[in-house]
A and B are shown apart, each in its own frame.
Chain A
């Protein structure tokens, strides 16, 4: 079946540093990927839509200069948390639909990346 991977699975960094998270679709091409954030004991909130070959679109309230998204290829999207602060500590999850042409297929979620900013 389709698999979406994320790397790293967890990262601890100092305040002020930037952290890059990768999301890969392993056996299918994904022209669109989505990034979600989940704070402890809360639900997932959509942050942005990553579009291959064009700029990402961000949800209301998400700072695009803070969360840089690059959809470098049909199988890779990266999320860079710039100048991370403790309030950015969260679980970041990406997802990719396998076939945008139909709505008959579901999305595949990555296993998530836990970011802790000290």
Chain B
């Protein structure tokens, strides 16, 4: 399968805690993106990190990229109940044909 792997598959934390999810992929990439999807809804773009970048921040989000290990992580700090959603990484090798990870289902308990 071309699909990337994410772990954990599911994560349940208390509000205020940090959530970390990891993504591993198989081929060389141009960029990697993280998306959020609320149940039954469309994708919300969170952050894009390019292959020559190692870390990016956006608000409470921090993404790292290690191309030597073909892996990325998404950290959500000070989580809120509204962060409850599924999170997907997607890699682009330069063709815009995204390969999505298997996703992490995050549940933030109030």
Contacts and interface: CB of A to CB of B under 8 A. Distances in A.
Q: Which of A95, A109, A110, A112 has the most CB of B within 10 A?
A: A109
A112 B100 contact: no
A45 interface: yes
A109 B43 CA distance: 7
Interface string A81-112: 00000000001010101001001001101111
Interface string B79-108: 000000000101010101111111101000
Interface size class on chain B is 20 to 34
A43 B102 contact: yes
A83 B28 CA distance: 38
Contact of A46 (B97, B101, B103): B97
Contact of B3 (A43, A49, A91, A95): A43
Contacts of A110: 42
Contact of A111 (B41, B98, B100): B41
Contacts of B42: 93, 109-112
Given A32-B96, A106-B33, A43 B101 contact: yes
Interface of A: 32, 34, 36, 41-46, 49, 91, 93, 95, 97, 100, 103, 106-107, 109-112, 114
26 contacts: A32-B96, A34-B96, A34-B97, A34-B98, A42-B102, A42-B103, A43-B101, A44-B90, A44-B100, A45-B100, A46-B97, A46-B98, A46-B99, A49-B97, A91-B40, A93-B43, A95-B96, A95-B98, A100-B96, A103-B31, A106-B33, A107-B98, A109-B35, A111-B42, A112-B42, A114-B40
